[in-house]
Structures are given as C-alpha cells and as structure tokens.
Structure 1
Amino acid sequence: MEPQYPAHWEADVVLADGGTAHLRPIRPEDADLLRAFYSRLSDQSIYFRFFGPRPRLSDREVAWFTTVDYVNRVALIATLGTEMVAVVRYDRVGEQEAEVAFLVEDAHQGRGVASVLMEHLRAAAREQGITTFVADVLPSNSRMTAFFRQAGYTAQSQFADGVVRMTLDLASTETSREVTLAREHRAEARSIERLLTPASVVVVGAGREAGGIGQTVLRNLLGADFNGPVYPVHRQARAVAGVRAYRSVSAIDGEVDLAVVAVPAEGVLDVVEECARKGVKGLVVVSSGFGESGPEGRERQDELVRIARAYGLRVVGPNCLGIANTDPAVRLNATLAARLPGRGRVGFFSQSGALGTALLQRVAQRGMGISTFVSAGNRADVSGNDLLQYWEEDPATDVILLYLESLGNPRKFARLARRTSRTKPIVVVKSGGMTQGVPVGHAAPALRLPDSALSALFEQAGVIRVDDLTQLFDVAQLLAYQPLPAGRRVGVVSNSDALALLAEDACLAAGLEPCPAANLGARAGAADYRRALDELGDRADAIVAIYMPPVPGNAAEVAAELVRTATETGKPLLATFEGRLGMPPELRVPHQPVPGGDPGKGSIPSYPAPEEAVRALAHVVRYACGRDRPPATTPEPADTVDTAGARALVAKAIESAGTGESAATRTIDAADLLARYGVDVWPAVPVRSAEEGVAAAGRLGWPVVVRSADPEVTHRAGAVRLGLSDADDVRRAYEDLTALLGPDVTLAVQRMAPQPAVTVVVRAVDDPDFGAVVSFGLGDVTARLLGDEAHRLAPLTGRDAADLVRSVRAAPLLFGGHGYPPVAVPALEDLLLRVGRLADELPGVTRLDLDPVLVAEDGAYVLGARAVVNAATAPRPDRGPRRLR
C-alpha cells in the first residue's frame, strides 16, 4: 500500500534571521529538487554528511532518499521559493530508536534552518513511537556536534571508530522547551525588526493621481524624511511626486528591503512574486479586496500569505493602514496617515486600518509620542504576538498598546504577555466583548469563551485591559511618563472641595485607599500647593493634583510645583489641570536629545475630570501590585500523580468509542480518572426503590443524602434530602423526591459530607483557542444565575489557584464572612491545582465537571464528577515545534 502523505507535518516557519521557509515531508517527485540542491553543496558539506567525497547522487540514491514510508523512514525538507535549501531525515534502527542526519545548503547555514527542522522531525518521530535519536558525526564537524549538544534535549556522546556518536533523548525537558521558545522569540522579533528598520522602500502602485492610496503612502514616506531611497513603481510614469519612477520592481537598480503594495487586489499576487525575485525582505499590503470582501477574497488572501512565506517574506495586512518607526535613524512613515505622533516610548499595534488614523491623531492630540506603529488590517500573517516578541526586547519601547479585534493564538498571546508584562506594561482594548465576533476577513475565528473569561485570562497574564480607546490613552500617558506606584494609598490635593470629593469617591470605588484630601480653597497658589504636596509625600504612594481655578490664576507657577514634586519624590503624580487632556506644555519635563518631541520622563499627564485620572491610576496600581509579586510556580502534589495511567484510561475510552464523529465524544469514569491525580470522588449509588436506598445507605454508612442521580436536577430547589440517619428517613426521602420529580426519576444515595460546608463547582474545559481552562464558582443557585465564576489557564500556579478562589464575588463566604464559618481554603486550592494539572496533561479530556464539591472546615469533598473525552481533540495551540498559523 502506498504510504499516506502526512500533510499535517507541513508548516511555515520563521528562521533566525527573520526570514521564512516552508517545511514539508519529502515526496518521490522531489527527485530533481534534491539533485539541484545537492549540486549547490560545498565539498565540505558533502564530506561531513557522507564521511567522504561524493560528487553526485546516483539515480538509485535519489530514489532511496526521496521515497520514504513516513513511519520508519521520514525526511523533511525546507524550501525557499522553488528551491530546496535543507533536508533532515531519520531511519528507524530499533523499536524506539532512529538514526538522524542533516544537510543544509551552505548559503543558508547559520539561519536556524537545522534547529527548526530538528523540532519538526522530533515531533514526527514521537508521533511514530520513537523516543531516541542517534547521529554519527565527524570530530572535525564542530558545528554539528555543538548543534546536538545545544538542542535542549538530554544528550550523550561517545567516540568510536573515528566518529562521535551522539544520543538524544527526545522527551521534552524544561531546557528543551526554553531553547525552543528562545529561538522562536529571537526569530519572530528579528522578522519584525526587518520590517520596521528597512534601508530602502518601494511603493508599488504609486499613481500620479493626487489622493490615491499609493501616492499617499509615497508622499508620507517622503514627508517623514525617510533615511533611505524610496522607489515608486508605475507602469507608465517617469516620475511620481517628483521622484524617479520605475516600470517594475525588478527594474530598480539597488536593493529593496520593504515593499508597500497598493495595487488592485487582482494584481497583488504577481507583485509579491516579483518582489520575492528581487530579494525584498518584507511586504506591507494596504490594498483591500481580500478576506473582507468574501470567499474569493479570502482565497486570494490565503494565497498571498502562502506565496510570501514560501519566498521568505513576512506580510503586514492586507487591507491595513501601514507601519511606522519614529526612530531618527529610520524615520519611516509607510502609512496612509499624513501626520504621525513624535518620537516616544510607546509601541502601538492596531488591527483596524480604518480606525488607525484616528488613533494616531488621538496620540498626537495628547502630546504623546510613539516608538513604532503597526496596523495589521486583516492580520493574515503578522499579528500582535509577533509585535510582543519584538517590543519585549526593543530598548526604544517602554509601554505596549494593543487594539485587538481578534486573537489568532490566544494561548501563545497569554504566554508572551505574561513574560513581557514583567518588564513592560501591556494595555489592551479588545473589541467585540459582547458579541465575541471578529471583523470579516480576519484570519482568526471568534472566541468561544465568554468575555468575562477573556478578562480573567488577560489579568492572569498581567495585561491591563481597559474598556475603550479613551481609557487606553488615559492609562498609556500615565505609564509612559510617570513611575509605577508602590502601593494603593492615594493623596488628593485640590483647590475645589467638590472635585476633591469626587476624586476620593472614585478612589474608594476603584479599591484604592485615599488619604485625607488636602482642600486648599479656590484662591490657592503655588506656595499652598508646595506645602500640601510636601505633606502628602510621606503618606501617599501616588498623588492626584487638581487645579481648576474659578478665575485665571498663576497656572505656570502651580505647574512648576507639580513638576518639582513629581521629580523629587519619585512617586507617580497625575493631574486634572484646568480640565485639559494629555500632556500640557506647563507639565512637561524637556526631553533630550529631541527638542520639541516627546515629553520626557516625569512629565505629568492631565485629565479633564478627577474620576478619569483615578480610573487610569487604578489600572496602573493593579498592574504594579501584580508585577511586584515574585514569580509564581506550579507546585508538585504531595502524593504521586499517575499521569501515564490517566493517559491510558483516556486512550482506552477513545479507542472503545468506535469511529465516526458521533462516536468520538463519550463520557468516561471520572472517579477513576481523578483518582490518578489524587482526587477522591465520593461514590453515589443509584437506586430504583426505597428499599434499595436503605440497603445502599447501610453499605455506605450513616448519615446519608438522597438526591437525583442527574446533577442538573439536583440543582433544583428542594431536590436533595440531607442528614438522613436511619431507614425511615431514607424511605420518606425517597417517597418525597419521587412525588416531586416523577416516578421515573433515578435517585442516588450518598454518604453525608461534613457540615457546615460551602458548595462550590470546579470545571475544566479544553478550549480550541486557549487550551485547558479551569473555572471556579460557588454552587448555589444565585451564584449560577449571576455567572459568578472565575477562570484561569492551566496548568495553575499556586497563585493562580489562590486567585481563582478569591476572584469570585461570593468569596467572603469561604473566609468566614456573613456568619459562615471559615472553611479549608488550602484544601480547595490543592484540588484546583490537581484539576489544572489533569486538564493540562490530558488534552483528550474536553470537559471535566466536579459538581458539587463541599468545602468544610476540615477539607474539600468531591461528591459528583463527570468527564468527557474526544478523539478529535487538536493538539494544544501553543505546544509542539515552532510554526506560523
């Protein structure tokens, strides 16, 4: 039988230098491709691979290398355009062992091709049951021996018969994961750097008509005084906007780094191929007519990305506003916005092209600056995740702003944001909160989790989520120019009693701790503000200064005192200064060496109303408090967890489910599964008569509970009988419940849990976008109706488990509030950790419900559990080898 080609092994990848390549399994029809590849290899590369000279491959060898079974013999190739540039292969030499070999074209060595091929070959090998790679390497091939030692997997080597035999254990380790993520980070950051720091730009479609898209981009590039040549491309014109024009990209004399494409959608693919042949490194496609225009446009959009990546190019767009870099050494304005903000410390990503111009105007109106700006449009390739990788290392960016309309890989976003937010704040506006919809054309589906869950996951990652664009910039101007607060104490100094009271009320509503306000009176001047500010300095972690004189006063002198205080105390100070918005000139600290540009650190942001200032401060305080907490860890359970046994249970359940879509999902024994993770589920015995109930109670031990065997019915008021201590109690309970629920109901008898206790619900779902998500809430009807539920990504750290318990509004009931006795919260947190680990390690478990769970003074007791498995579950969206969407 002909081997089945594993199409799921194909992938687009980013290389170490920021370029891209396509990886796929080799096929017999690649014979000519292999011959051409081999002909370009140096004698040394051939010698290192075959341990001797081999000028050419025979037809028999070519057939052997290109014909594999994708099980015992596997080869993956990397292609760039129409050429093969690397190949890696394994040949099974034992039941779980295979011999591995690499060959990378000399011109592409050092680009990280071998490392990413190794990741994908390892994944393919593990899929086929291989756990160990062996490789024979010549001692003089220092690059290859170093590569194997740095792969991140457990490695051993020995010297014999003139070669070094390397042995690699393919099991994932913390080191191998860190190596993979570090390589991904460097590659994706470099790919964005190439886009934002081009040495030359071509505008394809730069027409002669004023107001046209291409000419607008061209004029904006010229107007920004881009530090490099700008080439217009026009089929007929000799010059556009006073600049010599070229008939095609290939006709340009010099090298071209970045191409801005502004031709009709039907002609974009031809332009991309021409740019690829020219050696262009990146594309910005401002043209519309792609995914947002319907199925035909979506096919065109997919083909655009396929062609670009195949030739090593990243794509911003299509249907985007463009990109900008205010670095004086670059001065790039490859956008449709004629006016850019000045140089600043804020990186700004916007998915919306239509909204991008307005957003940039808002930044400029506030007197803020930006470091770089990217409008991704339909986000077919370059996304916010790519920008996070870049901005994390960018020394010119201190604050990251994201306007998101969709999330392509939410789990990866959470991972990147959690890491980046430890050093640089990330502020997000996510549209579609109520509808969970995404704009037409975006290369991302709508999210399935409720918006409240998304907010919780942002919080877990250390992201500041705000409700609207006004708040986005309110928070950004505070983060960009003032230090982070050390605590929640807020001092208010004001020349208006009414405005001071509004500020104090806003502090209390936001969970801040207002110090007694300093009310200076309407005629307060600079000296009054100086005394009040000095007194607040020792008592407050942040200061809100309000200056709203009823008649014109000495605003400049008061402003100088505010700037002095902000500079000397090192504490954040924000103002409502004459009702102005942004960064008033009087409150700025001059910034060098760019006179007239972005305000310097210590400049004071102003807000039209004190409530808006406090609201921005509250976001920053929460972020600062979270960032100051030491990094959390995932604790190991006190007893042994049988992960292998649990996986075997899931595999057996899936295998026994049969075939077909309807058979893929089935319920399994949740008690047996949870027992592998040290969680005891109390048995509930179904009964069909009162006497069966009495017998069951005798076996379980008194007192008992009688309830419906269906957990959903149990939630109904009056559907449970508690504290039954003898046979007569059980008989009466059985008669009452059958009368209430109907004669056909199946009841269950269960041992009575300790009382008093609080009923809670713990769930885990395998979300297609986020992966494993753990949810927690109280089990009473009111909490369920109000949706009082908290969410976190699995696996959980100890802090995540604690935050889950404390995030629900009814949490005080667990800690002795409202007359309830305090319960065993540590036992509840331990249960959450175990469920989180199970959900993370067993992606085949698509849903796990622990309902109800009773938390008493001495422990947490799981009284009901249900688990669902699905054979069609996709791999975790942020696991496995590096690949682009």
Structure 2
Amino acid sequence: MDDEGREGADASYPAGWEADVVLLDGATTHVRPIRASDADALQAFHVAQSERSTYLRFFAHLERLPERDLQRLVHVDHDERVALVATADDDGPVGYRIIGVARYDRVNEDEAEVAFNIADAQQGRGLGSVLLEHLAAAARERGVRRFVAEVLPQNGRMISVFRDAGYEVRQHAEDGVVSLAFDIDPTDRSFAVMADREHRAEARSMRAVLGARSVLVVGPVLPGAPPPRPLHLGMARKVLAHLALADSHVRVQSVGTDLDPSGEVPAADGGADGAAAEGAEAGDEHATAAAIAGAFAGVDGPVDLAVLAVPAASALAVVRAIAPTGARAVVLLTAGFAETGPHGLELQRAVLAAAHRAGMRLIGPASYGVVSWRPDGALNASLADDLPRPGRIGLFSQSGALAVPLLDALRRRGLGLAEFVSAGHRADVSGNDLMQFWADDEGTDVVGLYLESIGNPRKFSRVARRLALTKPVIVLTAGRSGQVVPPGHAVRATQAPARAVDELMRQSGVIRVENTHQLFDVAQVLALQPLPAGRRVAVVGSSSSGATFVAEAAATAGLVVVGAQVLPEDADDEVSESLIREAIEAPDVDAAIVVRIPTVGGPDPRFGRVVARAAAASGKTVVACVLGLRGVTDELTAPDLDGVPRTVPAYATPEDAALALGHAARYATWRTRDHGRPLHPDGTDLRGAARLVRDWLAGQSQVVLSAEQSGRLLASVGVHVLPSAPVHDADEAVAAARAIGYPVALKTTAPALRHRADLGGVRLDVADETELRADVVEVLALAAGHQGEPGAAPLEVQAMAPRGSSCVVRSVEDPLYGPVISVGLAGDASDLLGDVAYGIPPLTDVDVADLVRAPRAAPRLFGYRGLPPLDVAALEDVVARVAVLSDALPEIRTLELNPVVVAEHGAVALAARITLAHADRADATRRLQRT
C-alpha cells in the first residue's frame, strides 16, 4: 500500500508534511513527500500521461523517463530539492498510484524553481491548487520566499493555477517560454482563496453524504470475520429498517446482515474464496481480507454511502473491500478503536488512511449515524427510531450517546430537523465539515453543535465565523472549559486557560450555551422568530410581581427593559390583545416577553392565539411563557401580514425565555457590527523576523533571548523596547545614568520584585547621583532575600518613560490553540485577580480594540476619575504587532512585554522576555484538520 517504503526512510524525511486533503469533488487524496521507493509508481504515472501533458511538463515528448532522470526525481533532500506526490489506491503491483507531482529546486536563498504535473484523468479536481498550497507551505518552512517557473504559453491551465491561488504573479515571455515569478508569503487574497477552496471541497464532501441516493449497509456476518455480536447485527438491521421505511427513493443494499437458518456465519464459496476462508481460520490476515472482499462481489455500484456495523477487528478489511463500489463516505457505527488504547488508535488511523486513499470520508467511529430530510422523504442512515419532523435546524453531535437525548428533545419540542450527523470519535468528519456544508445549504436556518473536544480551534474559529455571519450557530461543549477530551478523541493537550475557549467562541460569533436545555431554548427563538433589532425589551405579565420578576431576569440576560405591562386576570381576549399590541409595537421596543401563569384556573388556549396574532402582526421578536404550552404549538401560531405562519416559541419558565432572547439579541448585534479588517501594521518585516528566529534556533531545541535579541526581534515588527543597562553596583549604575541622562529608573531583576514599584523593586524619577547611590543600596538589600535570574545582573538602569498606566501584553504558543494573546493592566489586577483578556490570532483591528477594552480595570485607560485619557490607540498598535508576529512565527513559545506604559501620547515597552522553541502548529493550512 501507500505506506510501504516508510520504513528505512532517512531521518530527514519530513513526515509532518504528509496530509489527507479533500478535493473539489468532495473525494480525498493523500499528499506526502516523494520517496526513493516511488520510482516505479512515478514511471507508471509518466507513461500514462498524454503526449501533450508530457510535452508541457518537460518541453519535449518522453515516452519513458530515463533511469538517470527517474532516480534524480525520486531522490531529494527535502530542503534544497523538495517534491510532493498525491496518491490514490490501486490494484497494481505497487498498491498505489501517483496522480500528481509538485516539486521545487532552490535557486538561491530566497528563490526556488517550481514545476507541477497532474494526471490527465485528475484534471479539474483542484489537485494543482492543493499541491501548490502544500508545496508553498513546505517552502516557507525551508526559508524560500519566492517561486519561479518557466511555462509554455499553451499551458494556460498551470498559469491559471498560480494566478487563481491569490499570488501576485509577474510574467514575461521570451524565446517562446513564459517566465513566471511570485512571492509565496501568504496574503489576504491567497488565504481567502485557500479558505474558499477548502470550503467548497469540504461542503461538497458532506453534500455527497447527506444527499446519498445509494446506501450500502454492512453487518458483521462476514466470512473470515470474528463471530457476529448481537449488538453489531442489531445496529445493521436497525439502519436497514430505517432506510426502508424513511425514503423509497434511496437504493439500499446490504452485506453481512443475515445469518443462515442454523445461525452460523456462512462460509465463503469454494475455490479461491473457500481457500481464503480456510486461511483466515488459520490466522492469515491476507486470506481474511480476501474472504471479506469476496462477500462484496455482488454489490451493484456505484454506492454513495456505506454504513458499517462491524467489529473493530474487521473494519480495515471492510473499508478496503468497499472501495471498489465507489462509495464517497463511510459511516462507522461501532466502537473499539482509539478509546481502547494505543493499539486501537493505530487501528483507527489505519482505517482512516484506507478510507482516504480510496477517496472516502469517514464518519465515526462510534457514530450514531446521519439523517437528512429531503423533499421526497428522509435519509435515515442512523440508529434513531423516531425522527423529529422535517424542519430547518442542522444538528451535529460528536457523542453517539448524547445524540439520543438531542434528537428526542428536538422532537418533543416540535422543532424541525434539516440534517443530523453524529461524528463519534471524529477521526475524520468534524463539526467544521458540517459548518462548511451549512454555510451554503438553503434548507438550513439554524445550526446546533455539541462538541466533546475542539481539535483545531483556529480553523473552528475561521469556519464558524464565516457561517455565523449568515446563520446562527449554537454551541454546547462537554464541560464548561471546553477542553474535556473523552476516550477515543485524539486531541492535542492544551495549557491555555479555560477562558480562552470563551474568547474563541466570542470572536467566532457563535452562541455558547451551558446545557442541552439552553441549546434548544435558544434554537427555538432563532428558528421561529426574526432576529431582534436591538436589546430593548417590553415585558407583559399577568401580575405586577410576575412582571417585576421577568424584568429582573431580562436585565440579567443582558436586555434593557423599557416597559412593563400588567394584564388584568379577568381581561377578555380583546383587551388582552390590545394591551399586548400596545406593548410590542411601541417604537422604543425591539422585542417582548409575554408571561401568563394564572393563579386560578388552568391553561387557556385562547390566550396563546391572542399572543400569536399580536406578535405576527408586529414583525418583532416575541417569546412567551404560557401555562401548559412548550416549544412549537398551534396555539401560539398565527399568519403574519404576508400570510406566512409565525410561531411564538413557548418556554417552561420566564428565566428560560429571557435567557434565550438575550442570546438572540447579542448574536444579532454581533452579526450587524463591523468585524474589522486583517492586521497589517506599517513597518513590519516578518521575513526578517523569521530569519532571526531561524538563526537563533539553529541546532537548539529552546532559546531564551537576551534583552538585545528580544529588542531586535520586536523591532522587526515596529515594537520598540526602551533600552536598559544591566548593572551590578552603585558605580556601574552611576555610569549608566550619566550615559542615559537623568532622571532615570532603577529596577531589580529579581522576578518576585521585578516591575513592582509598590513593593520597592522599582525606583522612579531618580534625579541625581546621590539619590541613585542610596536607592542602589536599598534595592539590593530588599532583593537580597529573593532569588535572582541566573546569570543576570541584579539591577537595571533605564531612561524614564512618560507617566501613564502600566499594562502587560503576552503571547503564549499553545499546542492546541496556537498563539494566545493576553492583555491586562499590570500589578494586582492581573497577577492576583486574573483580570486579563484573551484573544486568539488571527485578529482584526476590531478584535484588538475589543481585547484592550475587555479587562475590568480597562476604564483606567479612558480618563478614570478625572485622570486624563491615555493613548489607547498606541496600546492597540503594540498589541496588533505582537499578534501579527506571534501568528506568523509559531517558534515564539512565549513573549512578554511587562510593562507597556501607556501615556497621554504614545505607549512604550520597558522590558521584553522571549523564549523560542521549535513548534508544530496544529492548523497548518496544508493539513486536513479536524474538530
């Protein structure tokens, strides 16, 4: 198979460049660095190319690659010469075939010549764009900054690949050849092109799943497989029954779902298959696979979707066996993989690799299945017996177990389902993939996600923000921290604070809820009512005390109560409707909460119709808490002015109604606000910064930069640190002060007292030599009981900065989140009270402005208690430059500016500490990432 040849590869082989990617047709392929063992496959690829393709690649027709050239092409050093191949499964002697090649040869330190060759049969699938993305990412890691190429004028397809990738391509023609050159540093346009290609590919792969018209159900009754367990057989038969009942337009086939009359597993037929079965009993793995493959000989392809309920031990052979059916995706219902330990994780990875090599996406393991309502019925390839009615809510659940109460809650409330996918351990298909699909799906209005873990927070943020700009996204995480990692989920560890996930959600525009009850409370108002135009709410209650209670709940939910109306208990329908209309239609009202809980008597269905008529006529957002009503009800449904039925969602308690409305109002505000522009501060030299980091890290695993090195690195992006002079005694301090000029600041370098003027570790406005000598004695005595920095001078002398407020700006490279930026005011506010705000790059200018204003102590920057307002724009500029630097260079493990003094005019960093280490960021764009 494609993995063969990995053993014996030299230590320079960059395994981190391997990736499974989704192409524009929704199928998958594997991209990896070329190996010496690829010679036969590369020759086969070349021989299969048309004469025209060969001529365009080599400027000559070569029927076969000469052996010398072939060996040169497959032997690369993965630095000066790099080649990537895209592969797919094949029945030939090699076991795989190459379907595309991309390579570069370095010309000089910054420049490399690039060439591509895509199999004729693979044209139009976006493979050239994918290989360019991956090759450019690899080249940037090796310090290459520009690609050049020579292309024949008739090779318009390749010229278009370069241009369509979003790069600024320069070209000129000479002697019948077009010379191209373009910088490969990411730009806003190239990143947008990549994200759009990724979006279209992943959305299309999910469309193939949810729009499947031909489904193959595979049970455990297979020759050569372990004896079938009742659980697996029951799963297979249940899915078969659901498919048969739900939609006659889906063609259904099955393998391994029936026992013979004796209850035994049927043996394979005679001949080769019979021999294979005998070999399987003897433990021959290849014979077992052959026996299982033989069971699929009668499957009539093509198949869109395969649903597997087989033991984990059989899954790999089954996935390989169904590959020839042309299936676009596999739903794996059964467990027994990564959650069982290292062996199970390796098995899960092998199953995933087999699926991807065959061009299939994998949903699961431990999936509850998929459901999709279409105009002609439902695709119910799941274990759910009772489906919610058709509707416009898309639902995703990682957990198979929680899928049961989620679907049940949706059904009991009367809410309608558009699509449902359970990803289980989400070895492949994730919430990201479904969000990509829902962004374009005209049949979905509201999206709900239950996430047990977030495998790629940065991609989640990017994809969720794109979706949330057009459709509300409601997210429930396992545990408040959002960092619970259940058994079976292969997720990187994180050291980020729990509040980082809150910031991630806020930046993304998603609505985060705390339980399933809240998830559907919020979904009700978003699915049934228009978005609130603002936060101003009117309260209509059946008692004065009740109205007061509801008003308090609304204020707690972030709403602004602008009016309260009390309905007399004995009011007739006409009076009630008039009072409700008056409250709702007031010009200063954006939404309303109507509550009627009578102290005498039971539910009154007529009151619900009164509320429904008033709400539908107003066109505003209305929620209700009416005794005896819950969810979607006929009593709270009435036609609007256009004759379209509108339903007021009913809640169990007034607090539930207020909380849901508050979430809806905040989301509406986020969606309509300015989200800003990508950060591009003037005077940043990220190339120069990368060279510095590469030089300092060469041959070392971790480096703590000196003050001089930190200053150089920060200066490359326009952040200037006020110089300081390390000193050991009073004489050195006086000499430094004379060179700098009085007044100066004197600081201890002991970590416990560093930057703490309140504790005596910093002396400011030292005016002359006499005062300085006295301060040196005092500070040294004060720091004597504290451990200093190893190898550091005990004191620093620095020029005085303008007076202002001291802030702390930090960046920490997290294995899961990537860079996490934090901002707080220096001192006890951040150190003791944790009054720090977090942001996860890439940030926009609006994100930075929000970040600076988020700490509770931030009012000190804006003229607190008569003090002059400070230059917050200058602080934002510093934060933006730190964010850009940290986002571009994952090798920056930690960065701290402490303090950054924000004055009335300007902001200056007084000290910087930076640690570098080699990093492998989780969201590199060349990889197929999962959430």
TM-score by shorter chain over 0.5: yes
Report the alpha carbon displacement of residue 254 of structure 1 after superposing the two structures with TM: 3.8
For 1:865 and 1:165, how far apart are their aligned partners in 2? 45
1:581 is aligned to 2:635: no
Give the Å deviation of 1:142.
4.4
The DSSP-based 3-state class of the residue aligned with 1:419 is helix
Amino acid at match of 2:242: N
Alignment partners' CA distance in 2, 1:319 and 1:50 = 49
Residue equivalent to 1:322: 369
User: Counterpart of 1:499 in 2: which secondary structure?
Assistant: helix
The correspondence of residues 260-409 of structure 1 with structure 2, limited to 5 A, is: 260-329=307-376, 331-409=378-456
The residue matched to 1:212 in structure 2 has which SS? helix
What is the DSSP-based 3-state SS (H/G/I as helix, E as strand, rest coil) of the residue aligned with 2:832? helix
Name 1:563's counterpart in structure 2. 612
Structure 2 CA distance for aligned equivalents of residues 606 and 568 of structure 1: 18
**Residue type of the alignment partner of 1:25:** P
Alignment of 1:741 onto 2:783: yes
Counterpart residue number, 2:907: 860
Aligned CA distance change for structure 1 residues 588 and 224 (closer, same or farther; 3 Å): farther
The one-letter amino acid paired with 1:77 is V
**Native 8 Å contact 2:24 2:204 kept in 1:** yes
Q: Which runs of 5+ in 1 are unaligned?
A: 241-245, 592-598
Question: Structure 2 length as normaliser, TM-score?
Answer: 0.86
Establish whether residue 873 from structure 1 lines up as the match of residue 885 from structure 2.
Answer: no
Cα shift at 1:395: 1.0
Please, what is the CA RMSD of the aligned residues?
3.1
1:112 is matched with: 126
Q: Which deviates further from its counterpart, 796-805 or 709-718? A: 709-718
Match of 1:671?
A: 711
Structural mapping, 1:161-180, within 5 Å: 161-162=175-176, 164-180=178-194
- Any idea what the Cα deviations from partners look like across 1:215-252, whole Å, max 9, x if unmatched? 22222222323521212212754799xxxxx9833322
Aligned equivalents of 1:102 and 1:10: distance in 2?
A: 18
Identity %: 44
Asked if residue 551 in structure 1 is aligned to residue 594 in structure 2, the reply is: no
TM superposition shift of 1:866: 1.3
Structure 2 residue 495 is matched with structure 1 residue 448:
yes
In the alignment, the residues of structure 2 paired with residue 38 and residue 456 of structure 1 have an alpha-carbon distance, to the nearest angstrom, of 50
Contact kept? 1:227, 1:331, Cα under 8 Å: no
Amino acid in the other structure paired with 1:581: R
Judged with a 3 Å threshold, the aligned counterparts in structure 2 of structure 1 residues 762 and 139 are, in CA distance, closer, same or farther, namely closer
2:672 corresponds in structure 1 to: 628
> In structure 2, the residue corresponding to 1:249 is in which secondary structure?
coil
Range 350-359 or range 428-437, more displaced: 428-437
State the match for 2:85 in structure 1: 77
Correspondence 1:613-692 to 2 at 5 A: 613-634=657-678, 636-637=680-681, 640-655=683-698, 658-659=699-700, 661=701, 663-664=702-703, 666=705, 669=708, 670-692=710-732
- Tell me what 1:800 maps to: 847
1:570-624 deviations in Å (ceiling 9; x for gaps) = 2111111216432222113589xxxxxxx98731111111112111111121111
- Note if contact 1:414-1:458 (Cα within 8 Å) is conserved in structure 2: yes
1:473-530: CA deviation from partner (whole Å, max 9, x where unpaired): 1111111111111111111111122221122112222332101211123233432332
Which of 502, 506, 513 does residue 459 from structure 1 map onto?
Answer: 506
Aligned-partner SS, 1:714: coil
Q: Does 1:473 align with 2:523?
A: no
**Larger displacement relative to structure 2 (294-303 or 703-712):** 703-712
Aligned partners of 1:218 and 1:6: how far apart in 2? 44
Could you tell me how far apart the structure 2 residues matched to 1:181 and 1:277 are? 31
> SS of the counterpart of 2:169?
strand
Larger displacement relative to structure 2 (564-573 or 85-94): 85-94
The equivalent of 2:99 in structure 1 is 86
Q: Counterparts of 1:507 and 1:205 in 2: how far apart (Å)? A: 52
Q: Secondary structure at the match of 2:344?
A: helix
**Contact 1:457–1:793 under 8 Å retained in 2:** yes
Distance 1:664 1:150 in 2: 40
Change (3 A) 1:169 1:758: closer
> 1:485 maps to which residue?
532
Q: Is contact 1:226-1:332 (8 Å) kept? A: no
| CA-CA distance at 1:799 after TM superposition | 1.2
**Contact 1:250 1:274 (8 Å CA) reproduced:** no
For residues 188 and 677 of structure 1, the distance between their equivalents in structure 2, rounded to whole angstroms, comes to 35
Comparing 733-742 with 490-499, greater Cα deviation is found at 733-742
Higher deviation after alignment, 732-741 or 559-568:
732-741
Q: Secondary structure of the equivalent of 2:759?
A: coil
Note closer, same or farther for the CA distance 1:202–1:239 as it changes in structure 2 (3 Å cut): farther
How far 1:138 moved relative to its partner? 4.7
Report if the CA contact (8 A) 1:148-1:166 is conserved: no
**Match of residue 150, structure 1, among 137, 141, 164:** 164
Amino acid at match of 1:26: I
1:780 aligns with 2:780: no
SS in 2 for 1:840: helix
SS at match of 2:302: coil
Distance 1:563 1:878, change over 3 A: same
Structure 2 counterpart SS, 1:712: coil
* Aligned-partner Cα distance in 1 for 2:775–2:838: 37
Q: Is the 8 A contact 2:100 2:117 kept in 1?
A: yes
CA distance in 2, matches of 1:131, 1:825: 35
Q: Give distance in 2, aligned partners of 1:699 and 1:69.
A: 52
Give the C-alpha shift of residue 718 in structure 1: 2.2
1:473 match: secondary structure? helix
Kept after mapping to 2: 8 A contact 1:20/1:311: yes
- Whole-angstrom CA distance in 2 between matches of 1:390 and 1:171: 29
C-alpha displacement at 1:214, in angstroms? Answer: 1.6
Aligned pairs for 1:460-539 (under 5 A) are 460-536=507-583, 537=585, 538-539=587-588
- Aligned residue in 2 for 1:9: 17
For residues 694 and 79 of structure 2, what CA distance do their matches in structure 1 show? 21
**How far is the alpha carbon of 1:47 from its aligned partner?**
4.8
Q: For residues 180 and 812 of structure 1, what CA distance do their matches in structure 2 show?
A: 40
Secondary structure of 1:602 counterpart: strand
Query: How far apart are the structure 2 equivalents of 1:690 and 1:140?
Result: 76
1:235–1:248 Cα contact (<8 Å) kept: no
Q: Please say if residues 41 and 98 of structure 2, whose CA atoms lie closer than 8 Å, have aligned partners that are also in contact.
A: no
Amino acid paired to 1:272 = V
What amino acid is the match of 2:510?
V
Q: Which amino acid aligns with 2:696?
A: A
Structure 1 residue aligned with 2:267: none
Preserved contact between residue 750 and residue 783 of structure 2 (Cα < 8 Å):
no
Find the aligned partners of 1:109 and 1:544 in 2 and give their Cα distance: 57
Q: Which amino acid aligns with 1:220?
A: H
The residue type paired with residue 774 of structure 1 is I
Distance 1:692 1:73 in 2: 53
1:27 and 2:35 aligned: yes
CA distance in structure 2 between the partners assigned to 1:352 and 1:778 by the alignment: 41
Residue 526 to residue 147, structure 1, CA distance change in 2 (3 Å): same
Indicate how the Cα distance of structure 1 residues 692 and 134 shifts in structure 2: closer, same or farther if over 3 A, else same: closer
Q: May I ask how many residue pairs the two structures share in their alignment? A: 867
2-structure distance, mates of 1:570, 1:431: 36
Alpha-carbon distance in 2 for matches of 1:284, 1:239: 29
Task: Name the CA distance, whole Å, in 1 between partners of 2:706 and 2:738.
Answer: 29
- Please give the secondary structure, in 2, of the residue aligned with 1:800: helix
Q: Secondary structure at the match of 1:524?
A: coil
Alpha-carbon distance, 1:449 to partner: 1.1
Q: Which amino acid aligns with 2:722?
A: W
Higher mean C-alpha deviation, range 50-59 or range 462-471: 50-59
8 Å CA contact 1:119–1:882 kept in 2: the answer is: no
Gaps of 5+ in 2: 1-8, 90-94, 222-227, 263-291, 789-793
Which range moved further: 759-768 or 581-590? 581-590
How far, CA to CA, are the matches of 2:354 and 2:740 in structure 1? 67
Contact 1:542 1:573 in 2 (8 A): yes
Provide the rounded CA distance (Å) in 2 between the counterparts of 1:812 and 1:186: 44
TM-score by length of 1: 0.91
Deviation at 1:168, TM superposition (A): 4.4
Q: Is the 8 A contact 2:148 2:182 kept in 1?
A: yes
